[in-house]
Amino acid sequence: MGNAWWNLTLRFLLELAALLGLGMAGWNFLVGFSRWILAIALPLVAAVLWGTFAVLNDPSRSGRAPVPVPGAVRLALELVILCGGAAGFYLTSHAAIGIIMALLIALSYAVSVDRLAWLLRQ
């Protein structure tokens, strides 16, 4: 289930971009002091969920799972956060970045078919 170094790097960069996209969405959809709260809260909540809910012994992570979840739940969480970040770019007048990010997410998962199959078996 080894992923190429470039795909692991891509996944990491997509995770960071997702946090940025979620923060941008939070900033742009509210006004006043509330925008600060949402701009910080959305990426923070996403990062906590990403790090907390994992599949036990997932070789693409440390193998540890603070809160073990089935593979399908983890996959859904990943897709919601990553695609939410892409949507955040798209909806905040950065449509090209959002589309490119969505395509890169699809590419990353397309070359990770072995990981997807493993997740769905868990």
Per the structure, how many domains does the chain have?
A: 1
User: CA-CA distance, 116 to 43, in Å (whole number)?
Assistant: 24
pLDDT per position as a tens digit, 38-68: 999 999 999 999 999 999 988 777 777 899 9
pTM: 0.91
HEC sequence for 47-102: HHHHHHEECCCCCCCCCCCCEECCHHHHHHHHHHHHHHHHHHHHHCCCHHHHHHHH
Q: Which helix (H) or strand (E) holds 18?
A: helix 5-28
Q: What percent of the chain has pLDDT over 90?
A: 81
Q: State the residue range of the domain holding 31.
A: 5-121
